[in-house]
Protein backbone atom coordinates (compact mmCIF):
# COMPACT_ATOMS: atom_id res chain seq x y z
CA UNK A 1 0.00 0.00 0.00
CA UNK A 2 1.45 3.34 -0.95
CA UNK A 3 1.36 6.43 1.29
CA UNK A 4 -1.50 8.06 -0.62
CA UNK A 5 -3.73 4.96 -0.31
CA UNK A 6 -3.00 4.75 3.44
CA UNK A 7 -3.83 8.45 3.84
CA UNK A 8 -7.14 8.09 1.97
CA UNK A 9 -8.08 4.96 3.99
CA UNK A 10 -7.30 6.76 7.26
CA UNK A 11 -9.34 9.81 6.27
CA UNK A 12 -12.24 7.59 5.23
CA UNK A 13 -12.22 5.77 8.59
CA UNK A 14 -12.07 9.06 10.53
CA UNK A 15 -14.90 10.53 8.46
CA UNK A 16 -17.12 7.48 9.04
CA UNK A 17 -16.44 7.63 12.78
CA UNK A 18 -17.31 11.34 12.86
CA UNK A 19 -20.54 10.71 10.95
CA UNK A 20 -21.58 7.92 13.31
CA UNK A 21 -20.83 10.05 16.37
CA UNK A 22 -22.84 12.93 14.92
CA UNK A 23 -25.77 10.67 14.18
CA UNK A 24 -25.99 9.63 17.83
CA UNK A 25 -25.48 13.07 19.43
CA UNK A 26 -27.81 14.46 22.11
CA UNK A 27 -29.77 17.57 21.24
CA UNK A 28 -30.63 20.40 23.62
CA UNK A 29 -33.43 22.88 22.96
CA UNK A 30 -34.29 26.15 24.66
CA UNK A 31 -36.29 29.29 23.86
CA UNK A 32 -34.41 32.60 24.09
CA UNK A 33 -35.77 35.99 25.26
CA UNK A 34 -37.02 36.76 21.73
CA UNK A 35 -39.07 33.56 21.58
CA UNK A 36 -36.66 31.86 19.18
CA UNK A 37 -36.29 28.12 19.64
CA UNK A 38 -32.58 27.28 19.67
CA UNK A 39 -31.22 23.75 19.25
CA UNK A 40 -27.62 22.85 20.03
CA UNK A 41 -25.68 19.60 20.21
CA UNK A 42 -23.41 20.67 23.06
CA UNK A 43 -24.85 21.51 26.49
CA UNK A 44 -22.02 23.98 27.15
CA UNK A 45 -23.46 26.19 24.36
CA UNK A 46 -26.61 26.85 26.43
CA UNK A 47 -26.48 30.18 28.31
CA UNK A 48 -26.81 29.67 32.08
CA UNK A 49 -30.09 31.59 32.29
CA UNK A 50 -31.80 29.01 30.01
CA UNK A 51 -30.38 25.81 31.52
CA UNK A 52 -33.35 25.07 33.83
CA UNK A 53 -35.79 25.30 30.93
CA UNK A 54 -33.80 23.21 28.47
CA UNK A 55 -35.48 20.31 26.71
CA UNK A 56 -33.07 17.45 26.18
CA UNK A 57 -33.54 14.63 23.71
CA UNK A 58 -31.12 11.80 24.35
CA UNK A 59 -29.85 10.02 21.30
CA UNK A 60 -30.31 6.30 21.39
CA UNK A 61 -27.30 4.11 21.32
CA UNK A 62 -27.61 0.85 19.47
CA UNK A 63 -30.36 -1.01 21.29
CA UNK A 64 -31.16 -4.68 21.29
CA UNK A 65 -34.88 -4.05 21.75
CA UNK A 66 -37.07 -2.30 19.22
CA UNK A 67 -40.29 -3.09 21.09
CA UNK A 68 -41.85 -2.49 24.50
CA UNK A 69 -44.55 -4.75 25.94
CA UNK A 70 -47.66 -2.93 27.16
CA UNK A 71 -50.86 -4.00 28.90
CA UNK A 72 -54.16 -3.35 27.15
CA UNK A 73 -57.46 -3.42 29.01
CA UNK A 74 -60.74 -2.07 27.55
CA UNK A 75 -58.80 -0.23 24.80
CA UNK A 76 -56.65 1.52 27.40
CA UNK A 77 -52.91 1.10 26.87
CA UNK A 78 -50.79 0.91 30.03
CA UNK A 79 -47.09 1.55 29.46
CA UNK A 80 -44.22 0.60 31.80
CA UNK A 81 -42.18 3.73 32.49
CA UNK A 82 -39.01 4.14 34.54
CA UNK A 83 -38.70 7.63 36.04
CA UNK A 84 -35.61 8.98 37.80
CA UNK A 85 -35.61 12.01 40.07
CA UNK A 86 -32.46 12.92 41.94
CA UNK A 87 -31.34 9.77 43.78
CA UNK A 88 -34.50 7.71 43.18
CA UNK A 89 -35.65 5.58 40.27
CA UNK A 90 -39.21 4.25 40.24
CA UNK A 91 -40.98 1.91 37.83
CA UNK A 92 -44.58 2.92 37.13
CA UNK A 93 -47.51 2.19 34.82
CA UNK A 94 -48.77 5.20 32.88
CA UNK A 95 -51.82 5.30 30.64
CA UNK A 96 -50.83 6.21 27.07
CA UNK A 97 -52.66 9.47 26.29
CA UNK A 98 -51.94 11.04 22.89
CA UNK A 99 -54.39 13.82 23.81
CA UNK A 100 -52.28 14.90 26.79
CA UNK A 101 -49.74 17.60 26.01
CA UNK A 102 -47.67 16.72 29.06
CA UNK A 103 -46.98 13.63 31.07
CA UNK A 104 -48.99 13.63 34.30
CA UNK A 105 -48.05 11.73 37.44
CA UNK A 106 -50.10 11.03 40.55
CA UNK A 107 -49.28 12.49 43.94
CA UNK A 108 -48.53 8.94 45.07
CA UNK A 109 -45.88 8.53 42.35
CA UNK A 110 -44.46 11.99 43.12
CA UNK A 111 -44.12 10.91 46.76
CA UNK A 112 -42.38 7.65 45.77
CA UNK A 113 -39.94 9.72 43.70
CA UNK A 114 -39.34 12.11 46.61
CA UNK A 115 -40.63 15.17 44.75
CA UNK A 116 -41.33 17.89 47.33
CA UNK A 117 -43.90 20.66 46.73
CA UNK A 118 -41.12 23.20 47.27
CA UNK A 119 -39.34 21.88 44.15
CA UNK A 120 -42.38 22.40 41.94
CA UNK A 121 -44.04 25.32 40.19
CA UNK A 122 -47.75 25.80 40.89
CA UNK A 123 -49.79 26.22 37.67
CA UNK A 124 -53.19 25.64 36.18
CA UNK A 125 -53.67 22.72 33.82
CA UNK A 126 -56.51 22.37 31.35
CA UNK A 127 -58.19 18.97 31.37
CA UNK A 128 -60.18 17.22 28.64
CA UNK A 129 -63.53 18.71 29.67
CA UNK A 130 -62.12 22.25 29.43
CA UNK A 131 -61.76 23.00 33.14
CA UNK A 132 -58.57 24.56 34.48
CA UNK A 133 -57.40 22.78 37.63
CA UNK A 134 -54.48 23.41 39.99
CA UNK A 135 -51.37 21.40 39.25
CA UNK A 136 -47.69 21.35 40.05
CA UNK A 137 -44.93 21.20 37.43
CA UNK A 138 -41.39 19.97 37.76
CA UNK A 139 -38.72 18.25 35.71
CA UNK A 140 -37.55 14.72 36.35
CA UNK A 141 -34.01 13.66 35.58
CA UNK A 142 -35.14 11.07 33.06
CA UNK A 143 -38.06 9.02 31.76
CA UNK A 144 -37.55 5.74 29.94
CA UNK A 145 -39.93 3.49 28.05
CA UNK A 146 -38.09 0.40 26.89
CA UNK A 147 -35.10 1.55 24.83
CA UNK A 148 -36.32 5.18 24.59
CA UNK A 149 -34.87 7.63 27.10
CA UNK A 150 -35.60 11.31 27.60
CA UNK A 151 -33.70 13.54 30.00
CA UNK A 152 -35.02 16.61 31.82
CA UNK A 153 -38.66 15.77 31.05
CA UNK A 154 -41.38 17.99 32.43
CA UNK A 155 -44.18 16.33 34.38
CA UNK A 156 -47.38 17.71 35.86
CA UNK A 157 -48.59 16.49 39.24
CA UNK A 158 -52.36 16.67 39.46
CA UNK A 159 -54.25 15.79 42.64
CA UNK A 160 -57.03 13.22 42.27
CA UNK A 161 -60.12 13.14 44.45
CA UNK A 162 -61.52 9.86 43.17
CA UNK A 163 -60.71 6.25 43.93
CA UNK A 164 -57.38 4.66 42.96
CA UNK A 165 -57.34 4.24 39.17
CA UNK A 166 -54.88 1.32 39.08
CA UNK A 167 -52.18 3.31 37.24
CA UNK A 168 -49.77 6.09 38.13
CA UNK A 169 -50.58 8.81 35.59
CA UNK A 170 -50.66 9.67 31.89
CA UNK A 171 -47.85 9.26 29.37
CA UNK A 172 -48.25 12.39 27.26
CA UNK A 173 -46.97 13.77 23.98
CA UNK A 174 -43.99 15.53 25.55
CA UNK A 175 -42.50 12.01 25.61
CA UNK A 176 -44.41 10.14 22.88
CA UNK A 177 -43.95 12.94 20.32
CA UNK A 178 -40.16 12.59 20.47
CA UNK A 179 -40.06 8.94 19.40
CA UNK A 180 -41.85 7.59 16.32
CA UNK A 181 -43.70 4.40 17.16
CA UNK A 182 -46.46 2.05 16.07
CA UNK A 183 -48.81 0.44 18.58
CA UNK A 184 -49.81 -3.14 17.80
CA UNK A 185 -52.99 -3.81 19.80
CA UNK A 186 -52.97 -7.53 18.92
CA UNK A 187 -49.46 -8.30 20.17
CA UNK A 188 -49.63 -5.60 22.88
CA UNK A 189 -46.34 -4.07 21.74
CA UNK A 190 -45.03 -0.61 21.02
CA UNK A 191 -42.82 -0.97 17.95
CA UNK A 192 -40.23 1.80 17.92
CA UNK A 193 -39.61 3.09 14.39
CA UNK A 194 -36.05 4.31 14.91
Specify whether 115 is located in the same domain as 26: no
d(CA 106, CA 128): 17
pLDDT over 90 (residue 24): no
CATH number at residue 132: 2.40.70.10
pLDDT over 90 (residue 175): yes
Look at residue 36 in the predicted model and tell me its pLDDT: 61
Look at residue 161 in the predicted model and tell me its pLDDT: 73
Least confident of 90-94, 111-115, 156-160: 156-160
26: confidence class by pLDDT, cuts 50, 70, 90: low
Least confident of 48-62, 114-128, 146-160: 48-62
SS (H, E, C) the chain: CCHHHHHHHHHHHHHHHHHHHHHCCCEEEEECCCCCEEEECCHHHCCHHHHHHCEEECCCCCCCCCEEECEEECCEEEEEEEEEECCEEEEEEEEECCCCCCEEECHHHHHHHCCCHHHCEEEEEECCCCCEEEEEEEEEEEEEECCEEEEEEEEEECCCCCCCCCCCEEECHHHHCCCCEEEECCCCEEEECC
Q: Domain residues for 90? A: 67-192
Neighbours of 19 (CB within 10 A): 9
Per-residue pLDDT, averaged over 98-105, amounts to: 93
| Residue 55 lies inside a defined structural domain of this protein | no
Look at residue 105 in the predicted model and tell me its pLDDT: 94
Instruction: Domain count for the chain, please give it.
Output: 2
Look at residue 38 in the predicted model and tell me its pLDDT: 62
| Residue 188 lies inside a defined structural domain of this protein | yes
List, for residues 39-89, the tens digit of each pLDDT value.
666 777 788 887 777 766 555 443 457 999 999 999 999 999 999 999 899
Enter the pTM of the model: 0.65
Specify whether 40 is located in the same domain as 72: no
12 or 136: which leads in pLDDT: 136
Task: Kindly tell me the sign of the dihedral angle through the C-alpha atoms of 35, 138, 46, 174.
Answer: negative
Give the list of residues 6+ apart from residue 68 with CB closer than 8 angstroms, or none. Answer: 79, 80, 145, 146, 147, 148, 189, 190, 192
- Please give the mean pLDDT across all residues of the chain: 80
Look at residue 45 in the predicted model and tell me its pLDDT: 78
Look at residue 37 in the predicted model and tell me its pLDDT: 57
27 or 51: which leads in pLDDT: 51
Specify whether 40 is located in the same domain as 71: no
CA angle 67, 62, 55 (to 5 degrees): 85
DSSP bridge partners of 37: 31
134: confidence class by pLDDT, cuts 50, 70, 90: confident
Specify whether 80 is located in the same domain as 175: yes
Specify whether 75 is located in the same domain as 137: yes
Specify whether 34 is located in the same domain as 72: no
Amino acid sequence: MNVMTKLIATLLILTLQAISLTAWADFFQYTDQNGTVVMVDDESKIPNKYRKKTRTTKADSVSTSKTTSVRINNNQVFVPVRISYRDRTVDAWLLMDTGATSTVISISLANRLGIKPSSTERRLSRVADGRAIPSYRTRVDSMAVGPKLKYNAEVAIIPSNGPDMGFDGLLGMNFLGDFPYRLDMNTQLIEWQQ
